């Protein structure tokens, strides 16, 4: 028996996916503002302050919930979609950029999943969206994208979005992997997360991968993305602001542009 609303879903598409959620009468899904795509007649939209979880009581709890969402870069409000008609109704939410939508059944994942900030897309009503701080000083000072993360709690379905291809890795007890902080999408609560220094002056100055990386140690599940939105945005910004294609081709630089006919 779940405390959160039970919702059925289907995911469509390949590179630009959307999730279709089927709601029984009086069932509700919550979503980030701006993710809505389409819905059947008979679904009522409502704006909620905070995350809309059922365990919220008074105004103070709602203010605290909204503040936590703001810290991880999410909106102060969520939109609730409730089926107020007879029979099943459907509402769909679209991914914000190329990648994959990951369904997370929190009941099967220990009722808590830690994910990258801005990853949350939508969920069953009752799922709580909070913040997760690293307990270690080194992670706090140098963690970059991975320092403040989102925490999804409850026993319902939640959906997060990741860039590019997504890999799910199962870590055995004590098994450790090293990963770029931006490539982490989510991990279950049993996984230990920390930041380590790459080491070596040449690696730090010329490695091109940053001075720090994340370590994830099992047991638990980890979801990894190949294209973090920060990496995609950085490449687009660098390409668009250069006025030319001098970065493209790396070492070849302007020679590459000259050879392919762009070096005027």
First to last CA, the chain: 68
* Residue 14 pLDDT > 80: yes
7-21, 44-58, 182-196: segment of lowest average pLDDT? 44-58
> How many angstroms separate the CA atoms of 210 and 186, rounded?
21
* Residue 7 pLDDT > 60: yes
Q: Is residue 143 part of a domain?
A: yes
Q: Which two tokens stand for residue 192?
A: 């230990």
The domain that holds 113 is classified in CATH as: 3.60.160.10
> What is the sign of the dihedral through the CA atoms of 40, 43, 47 and 53?
negative
**What letter would DSSP give residue 14?**
S
* Residue 119 pLDDT > 50: yes
Q: Is residue 3 part of a domain?
A: no
Q: Is residue 31 part of a domain?
A: yes
> How many angstroms separate the CA atoms of 144 and 139, rounded?
8
Banded model confidence at residue 263, pLDDT cuts 50, 70, 90: very low
Q: Which two tokens stand for residue 150?
A: 């989102």
Task: Give the pLDDT confidence score for residue 234 in this predicted structure.
Answer: 66
10-19, 39-48, 196-205: segment of lowest average pLDDT? 196-205
By the 8 A CB rule, do 229 and 184 touch? no
**Mean pLDDT, residues 227-254:** 61
Q: Is residue 263 part of a domain?
A: no
Indicate the average pLDDT of the chain.
78
Q: Is residue 33 part of a domain?
A: yes
Please, how many CA atoms are within 13 Å of residue 172, restricted to the half-sphere of its CB?
Answer: 1
Task: Give the pLDDT confidence score for residue 259 in this predicted structure.
Answer: 43
Q: Is residue 248 part of a domain?
A: no
What is the total count of domains within the chain? 1
* Residue 173 pLDDT > 60: yes
Q: Per-residue pLDDT tens for 175-231?
A: 999 998 889 999 999 999 887 776 654 544 444 445 678 889 999 999 999 988 776
Q: Is residue 258 part of a domain?
A: no
Task: Give the pLDDT confidence score for residue 225 in this predicted structure.
Answer: 93
Task: Give the pLDDT confidence score for residue 224 in this predicted structure.
Answer: 95
Its pTM stands at 0.77
DSSP secondary structure, 36-94, as one string = EEEE-TTEEEEEEES---TT--SHHHHHHHHHHHHHTT--SEEEEEEE-SSS-EEEEEE
> How many angstroms separate the CA atoms of 55 and 227, rounded?
35
> How many angstroms separate the CA atoms of 72 and 129, rounded?
10
Strand order in the sheet with 77-83: 43-49, 77-83, 28-31, 120-124, 157-163, 99-105
Q: Is residue 32 part of a domain?
A: yes
Task: Give the pLDDT confidence score for residue 105 in this predicted structure.
Answer: 96
> How many angstroms separate the CA atoms of 47 and 30, rounded?
9
* Residue 139 pLDDT > 50: no
Domain that holds residue 203: 8-240
């Amino acid at each position: 028996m779940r405390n959160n609303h039970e919702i059925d879903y289907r995911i469509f598409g390949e590179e630009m996916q959307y999730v279709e959620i089927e709601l029984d009468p009086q069932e509700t899904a919550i979503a980030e503002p701006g993710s809505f795509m389409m819905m059947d007649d008979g679904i009522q939209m409502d704006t909620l302050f905070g995350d809309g979880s059922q365990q919220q009581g008074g105004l103070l709890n709602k203010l605290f919930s909204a503040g936590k969402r703001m810290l991880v870069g999410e909106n102060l409000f969520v939109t609730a979609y409730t089926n107020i008609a007879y029979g099943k109704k459907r509402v769909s939410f679209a991914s914000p950029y190329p990648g994959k939508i990951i369904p997370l059944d929190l009941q099967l994942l220990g009722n808590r999943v830690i994910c990258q900030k801005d990853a949350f897309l939508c969920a069953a009503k009752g799922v709580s969206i909070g913040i997760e701080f690293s307990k270690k000083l080194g992670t706090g000072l140098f963690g970059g994208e991975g320092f403040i993360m989102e925490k999804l709690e409850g026993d319902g379905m939640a959906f997060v979005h990741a860039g590019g291809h997504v890999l799910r890795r199962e870590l055995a007890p004590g098994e450790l992997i090293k990963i770029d902080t931006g490539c982490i999408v989510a991990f279950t609560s049993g996984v230990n997360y920390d930041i380590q220094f790459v080491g070596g002056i040449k690696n730090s100055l010329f490695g091109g991968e940053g001075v720090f990386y994340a370590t994830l140690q099992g047991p638990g599940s980890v979801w990894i993305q190949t294209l973090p939105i920060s990496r995609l945005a950085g490449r687009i910004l660098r390409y668009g602001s250069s006025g030319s294609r001098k970065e493209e081709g790396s070492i070849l630089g302007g020679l590459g542009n000259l050879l392919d006919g762009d070096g005027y």
